[in-house]
Amino acid sequence: MVADQTIRDVDANAQGSTTMADLMAGLPPLLLGTYTPKIDAKGRMALPAKFRSQLGQGLVMARGQERCVYLLPFDEFRRIASQIQRVSVGNKAAREYLRVFLSGAVDQQPDKQGRVLVPQMLRDYANLGSDVVVIGVGTRAELWNKDTWESYLAEKEEGYSDIADDVLPEVEF
């Protein structure tokens, strides 16, 4: 039975009907897409339903680049912090980055409704009001002020193809 399934899978792939699940097999789940939840008066935000399998058991919120807030699964946070710590001992810039990054990091456990509290410190850092955008960026999600995200995206979309040529020269699309 397993051999028959494998043969069918190979045959289906040979016919060009590869699914997203086929492409992602064996890889950690990716956080993808754009969502527009709200932050309520108590500072709570519902995680997008599609992100709950990766973030629902807990996550770390931290200051991100360009004034966003990173939402990181615990394993991804540990990986990043470990990499920074390896270079931080002898590198002043890395030590400074690590201090700012870790001092603003907060671990969160979503409640039964899938909501997390966005700490005031991080709301201030990213200028977050009630209107926010959560984007999936592969191994992390980012939480943005809605207006800031829309401006950023409009600016970056203009040079999108040029960025791809510079950043991804070896990747074929």
Three-state SS annotation for the chain? CHHHHHHHHHHHHHCCCCCHHHHHCCCCCCECCEECCEECCCCEEECCHHHHHHHCCCEEEEECHHHCEEEEEHHHHHHHHHHHHHHHCCCHHHHHHHHHHHHCCEEECCCCCCEEECCHHHHHHCCCCCEEEEEECECCEEEEEHHHHHHHHHHHHHCHHHHHHHHCCCCCC
Put simply, whether the predicted model's pTM sits higher than 0.75 gets the answer: yes
**28-167 CATH pick, 3.40.1550.20, 1.10.10.10, 3.40.630.30, 3.50.50.60:** 3.40.1550.20
Q: Kindly state the percentage of the chain with pLDDT values over 70.
A: 81
Residue 76 is predicted with a pLDDT of 94
pLDDT in tens, 61-120: 999 999 999 999 999 999 998 888 888 778 888 888 889 999 999 999 999 999 999 999
Domains of the chain, residue spans: 28-167
